[in-house]
Chains A and B, each alone.
Chain A
């Protein structure tokens, strides 16, 4: 079992729709959770961090964390073609951070 799992996609959504990206992790001791966006040929860029159960909103982005289910998600409201990228889930534990392999999102105009 991979430590951080994501569906590789591609996930295709029409412009203006809500994109829902999911991530599960295996280490119950994990304390910090992140979403990075990576455009093709570019480096990962941190877009959201979440440390406690519940929702955290930042503009069109909402991160959701459920530690009991070991599940993290990212919702993108009003998806735009510029949101088309690979989204990496990262999970931080004791002196360690592990990235998932990413979900490719395609927003169709």
Chain B
């Protein structure tokens, strides 16, 4: 079982839709949480860090539930340019490595 689990999708949504992605992680010692996005054959790019109190950046809202070991990402008013793979990423205490989920693929259509 992977340490970080995501629904691979794809999620096919029309422009303007609201879409939510979920992610679970198995290591309760996990300390830092992120959402990265990755376009086909490109590098992962940081979308946002995820904080315990939840945080918002424009159309994007991230939530963390440490008790349930669950992370979510909500995208409002989807744009065509949001089409990408969204990677849930976890970093544990005292280690440098980022642990990636397999990613959730989003396709926004006109």
Whether chains A and B associate is no
Chain B residues near A (Cβ < 8 Å) = none
Chain A residues near B (Cβ < 8 Å) = none
